[in-house]
Amino acid sequence: MHHDNLEALATECASCKKCPLGDTRTNLVFGTGNPHADLMFVGEAPGEQEDLSGVPFVGRAGQLLDKYLYAVDIERKDVYIANILKCRPPKNRDPLPAEEDACMDYLREQVKLIRPKIIVCLGRISAMRLIKEDFKISKEHGAWFEKGGYLMTAVFHPAALLRDPRRKEDMLEDMKRIKAKLDELGATES
């Protein structure tokens, strides 16, 4: 799979038949944001609002993510946001391993085209898939990992913060650290 740009990749993704989720979803949720973003967020899978709009992280969890971006002075238009799965699993059930396997090539291609400096996994499902299989979100959130030439970290999923607000302080600290790292990398660029 090779594509010159994200649009070509999205077009292929739109007619994907590698798993059955394309048959039940409303819209493909490919990803949105700056195609040359230094910072990329990867969530789990589209929910209902995302499925209806075709845009990742626009429901309640997405609105909470927006608040954290605002709090650390990162503009949503400057980052790229995608998910492991591009189609909504029925009733928001957890992605099946086979669905993740089927969808991962699209994410890999997205990352290759965007070439972000930092990849932030939103939640444990994304971290277990992208950082390491035995990732422990409660212990390892906010820690830095290097994989395949990318700097990676994971934070609590905003939907988990809605269920358990006690983790919100940790989330703010992690987001501040991500912003500081981004500034640091930007400063060493030129």
**Contact positions toward ligand URA, by CB under 6 A?**
43-47, 50, 56-57, 59, 61-62, 83, 122, 159
Look at phi and psi of residue 123 and say left if phi exceeds 0, alpha if psi is from -120 to 50, else beta: left
Concatenating the DSSP letter of every residue in 14-25 gives HT--SSTHHHH-
Give the residue with the Cβ less far from ligand URA, 22 or 185: 22
Question: How many CB atoms neighbour CB 89 within 10 A?
Answer: 20
Q: What CA–CA distance (Å, rounded) separates 127 from 138?
A: 12
* Beta carbon of residue 50, minimum distance to ligand URA (angstroms, whole number): 4
Per-residue burial over 39-63, b = 16 or more CB atoms within 10 Å of its CB, e = otherwise = bbbbbbbbbebbbebebbbbbebbe
Q: What CA–CA distance (Å, rounded) separates 6 from 147?
A: 22
Give the residue with the Cβ less far from ligand URA, 63 or 180: 63
Give the residue with the Cβ less far from ligand URA, 44 or 174: 44
Give the residue with the Cβ less far from ligand URA, 10 or 185: 10
* Beta carbon of residue 43, minimum distance to ligand URA (angstroms, whole number): 3
Identity of the residue numbered 25: R
Give the residue with the Cβ less far from ligand URA, 46 or 116: 46
Q: What CA–CA distance (Å, rounded) separates 57 from 120?
A: 14
* Beta carbon of residue 69, minimum distance to ligand URA (angstroms, whole number): 14
* Beta carbon of residue 184, minimum distance to ligand URA (angstroms, whole number): 27
* Beta carbon of residue 4, minimum distance to ligand URA (angstroms, whole number): 26
Containing H/E element for 118?
strand 118-122
